């Protein structure tokens, strides 16, 4: 049995898929692509697919990770190509590697989010971020499966800064007219904690410290995941697997 690791993106309108939607779509794509999947034993055999921390419903991602096990050896580049063809547009394979051992989950303990806030002035956002970073603790309410829970969102935030590109294309509600609009964009590295701090929680924290209320729903994109080094940067989780041969699908990472 061979184990392969896949990095993929969730883009465009597919950001509205839930993790369960993505998992089902992936399993069907693996079957359509004819990947010789390994199955679990027992009463209800399932293909061996393991997921690592999926991006929440409503968020897009350029860096999602999954591991699959196959019964015949497959070429990682062929897997990346064939699977990408079988997946719907918007779920795009970025890279596949043969697992060189170790645990992929152990190589991911943080991620980088880009949060677009149309209608929020970048300077106002900057002031809110300063207040957030200066606070020793920011308690926000989170809806978990056990009900409402208070968590400290500040503890998970490694860094946060406002990106200095301030015009994005937006759509007016009602007539759908397009135009450009000043837009605050936040780039933030968040440490994996229990429970996990999501973009929504970061926005709640900004509301708590600076009463920041975006006029339209924010759009969050996960840009990278990996291991946080001492300087707060993320290390690519495939580094150990990729040597000596590199396998990519050759598909450029462009959104819809």
Partner 1 sequence: MFAQLEPLLPQVSKPVQYVGGELNATSKDWEDTCVRWCLMYPDAYEVGLPNQGVMILYEILNEQQDVLAERTYAVWPDMEALMREHDVPQFTVDAHRPVGAFDLFGVSFSTELGYTNLLNALDLAKIPLHAVDRTDEHPIVVSGGHAAFNPEPISDFVDCAVLGDGEEAVLEITDIVRRWKNEGSPGGRREILLRLAETGGVYVPQLYDVEYLPDGRIQRVVPNSDRVPYRVFKRTTMDLDEWPYPKQPLVPLAESVHERMSVEIFRGCTRGCRFCQAGMITRPVRERSIEGIGAMVERGLAATGFEEVGLLSLSSADHSEIAEVTKGLADRYEGTNTGLSLPSTRVDAFNIDLANELSRNGRRSGLTFAPEGGSERLRRVINKMVSEEDLIRTVSAAFSNGWRQVKLYFMCGLPTETDDDVLQIAEMAKNVIRAGREASGRKDIRCTISIGGFVPKPHTPFQWAAQCDPDTVDSRLRKLREAVNSDRKLGRNIGMRYHDGKPSLIEGLLSRGDRRIGRVIERVWREGGRFDGWSEHFSYERWVSAAASELEPLGVDLDWFTTRERDENEVLPWDHLDSGLDKEWLWSDWQDALDEHEQDDCRWTPCFDCGVCPAMNTDIQVGPTGRKLLPISPVGKGSPVSNPAFSGG
User: Which stretches of the chain bind partner 1, using CB under 8 A?
Assistant: 13-14, 16-18, 20-21, 24-25, 27-39, 43-45, 47, 57-58, 70-75, 78-79, 81-82, 86, 88-90, 171, 173-176, 178, 216-217
CA 91 to chain centre: 12
Select 96 or 108, whichever has its Cβ closest to partner 1.
96
CB contact at 8 A, 88 and 144: no
**Rounded Cα gap, residues 18 and 28, in angstroms:** 16
Alpha-carbon separation of residue 44 from 19, 40, 48, 174, 205 (angstroms): 21, 8, 12, 48, 43
Select 35 or 197, whichever has its Cβ closest to partner 1.
35
- Paired tokens of 137: 């603790």
**What's the min distance (Å) between Cβ of 167 and partner 1?**
17
Alpha-carbon separation of residue 167 from 119, 172, 184, 222 (angstroms): 10, 15, 8, 20
**Rounded Cα gap, residues 215 and 229, in angstroms:** 36
Select 37 or 228, whichever has its Cβ closest to partner 1.
37
**Rounded Cα gap, residues 226 and 244, in angstroms:** 20
**Rounded Cα gap, residues 96 and 72, in angstroms:** 16
Select 73 or 246, whichever has its Cβ closest to partner 1.
73
Select 103 or 245, whichever has its Cβ closest to partner 1.
245
CB contact at 8 A, 142 and 208: no
DSSP string covering 208-238, please? Answer: HHH----SS--EEEEEEEEEE-TTSPEEPTT
Select 42 or 147, whichever has its Cβ closest to partner 1.
42
Select 79 or 189, whichever has its Cβ closest to partner 1.
79
**What's the min distance (Å) between Cβ of 17 and partner 1?**
5
**What's the min distance (Å) between Cβ of 231 and partner 1?**
34
Residues in a beta bridge with 115 = 186, 220
């Amino acid at each position: 049995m061979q184990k392969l690791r896949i990095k993929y993106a969730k883009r465009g309108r597919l950001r509205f898929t839930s993790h369960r939607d993505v998992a089902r779509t992936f399993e069907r794509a693996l079957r359509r692509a004819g990947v010789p999947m390994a199955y679990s034993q027992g009463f209800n055999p399932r293909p061996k697919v393991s997921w690592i921390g999926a991006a929440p419903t409503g968020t897009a991602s350029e860096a999602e990770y999954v591991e699959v096990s196959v019964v015949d050896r497959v070429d990682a580049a062929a897997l990346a190509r064939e699977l990408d063809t079988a997946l719907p547009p918007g779920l795009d394979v970025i890279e596949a590697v043969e697992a060189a051992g170790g645990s992929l989950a152990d190589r991911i303990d943080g991620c980088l989010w880009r949060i677009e806030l149309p209608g929020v002035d970048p300077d106002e956002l900057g002031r809110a971020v300063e207040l957030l970073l200066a606070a020793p603790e920011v308690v926000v309410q989170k809806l978990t499966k056990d009900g409402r829970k208070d968590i400290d969102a500040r503890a998970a935030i490694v860094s946060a800064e406002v990106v200095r590109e301030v015009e994005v294309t937006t759509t007016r509600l009602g007539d759908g007219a397009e135009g450009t609009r000043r837009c605050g964009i936040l780039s933030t590295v968040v440490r994996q904690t229990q429970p996990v701090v999501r973009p929504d929680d970061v926005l709640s924290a900004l509301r708590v410290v600076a009463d920041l209320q975006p006029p339209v729903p924010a759009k969050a994109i996960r840009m990278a995941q990996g291991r946080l080094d001492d300087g707060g940067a993320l290390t690519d989780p495939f580094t150990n697997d990729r040597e000596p041969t590199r396998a990519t699908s050759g598909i450029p990472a462009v959104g819809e």
